[in-house]
């Protein structure tokens, strides 16, 4: 075995080398933090701080946001409710909602297409639901699907607070995978002129193929998909571009309150089963 003095010398060298190694990596760490600071802020806000606030308040973020809306927004005024949610997200807690920039794209397309029936997969807090409902033509109908009952309860209250009744906006609680096959028989939906996918990019391709399989997309129908660049839906985009049944357009945007994080909305126009 080595003599004690040799062990002591080795430990001394390790102790003196560690700070040197740390200093060598410091510029790299600083560079990464500066380059990806927007993602770091997003991670802290949406995961760490949100989890802490959930534990301390006993409420989820959408429930806290709704409480804010109740005390700051005008009932029956969907535009003011949306502005209030935007203010909450910018000044209180990041809500992970669609936001005003993407919202303008969505409303413009709904007004342009004038769909008789819209299907929204992913109600969340009800933000995009209000955007669609505002822009629907007279007699238009919106079916919105939310898998989480607690989140759906908040969205339901927000939708009714904005002044939209069950005949115009119907909220369905359940997973999109289970709801889509039942739309024709259980909800009397024979076709949907416009679909908004906003529930989770990993589900987009599966649900698009379900809509095709159950003949719910008419020729000329529109499918909008949010978050196709961040966190991203590459398999969905690849399928839409390569299957030959869709014309594709991509709207480049940023995340609400994080414009440096690039995202986008995909607009697909269905040409028919082919």
Residue 151 in contact with residue 180, Cβ under 8 Å? no
CA distance 142 to 166: 9
Residue 200 reports pLDDT greater than 60: yes
Non-local CB neighbours of 17 within 8 Å, separated by 6+ positions: none
Confidence label for 48 from pLDDT (cuts 50, 70 and 90): confident
CA distances from 268 to 46, 83, 162, 219 (A): 30, 28, 29, 11
What is the SS3 assignment for 247? Answer: strand
Helix (H, G, I), strand (E, B) or coil at 103: helix
Q: Please determine, for residue 208, whether its predicted confidence score (pLDDT) is greater than 60.
A: yes
Res 242 pLDDT > 80: yes
Mean pLDDT of the chain: 91
What span, in angstroms and rounded, lies between the C-alpha atoms of 10 and 86?
A: 59
Structure confidence at residue 11 (pLDDT): 46
Query: Which has more confidence, 116 or 31?
Result: 116
Write the CB contacts of 70 (distance below 8 Å, at least 6 apart in sequence): 161
What domains does the chain contain, in order, with CATH numbers?
98-270 (3.40.50.150)
Region 203-230: mean pLDDT is 98
Does 32 have pLDDT greater than 80? no
* For range 186-207, the mean pLDDT: 97
């Amino acid at each position: 075995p080595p003599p004690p003095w040799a062990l002591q010398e080795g430990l001394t060298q390790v102790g003196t080398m560690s700070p040197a190694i740390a200093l060598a990596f410091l510029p790299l760490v600083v560079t990464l933090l500066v380059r990806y600071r927007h993602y770091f802020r997003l991670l802290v806000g949406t995961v760490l701080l949100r989890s802490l606030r959930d534990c301390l308040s006993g409420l989820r973020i959408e429930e806290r946001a709704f409480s804010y809306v109740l005390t700051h927004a005008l009932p029956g005024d969907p535009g003011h409710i949306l502005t209030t949610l935007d203010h909450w997200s910018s000044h209180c807690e990041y809500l992970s909602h669609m936001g005003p920039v993407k919202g303008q794209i969505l409303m413009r397309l709904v007004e342009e297409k004038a769909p008789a029936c819209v299907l929204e997969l992913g109600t969340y807090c009800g933000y995009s639901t209000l955007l669609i409902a505002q822009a629907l033509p007279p007699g238009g109908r919106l079916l919105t699907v939310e898998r989480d009952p607690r989140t759906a309860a908040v969205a339901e209250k927000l939708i009714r607070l904005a002044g939209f009744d069950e005949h115009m906006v119907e909220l369905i609680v359940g997973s999109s995978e289970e709801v889509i096959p039942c739309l024709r028989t259980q909800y009397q939906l024979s076709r949907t002129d416009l679909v908004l996918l906003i529930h989770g990019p990993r589900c987009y391709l599966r649900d698009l193929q379900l809509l095709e399989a159950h003949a719910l997309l008419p020729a000329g129908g529109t499918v909008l998909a949010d978050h196709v660049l961040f966190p991203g839906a590459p398999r969905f985009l690849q399928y839409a571009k390569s299957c030959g049944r869709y014309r594709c357009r991509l709207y480049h945007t940023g995340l609400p309150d994080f414009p440096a994080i690039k995202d986008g909305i995909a607009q697909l126009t269905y040409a028919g089963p082919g």
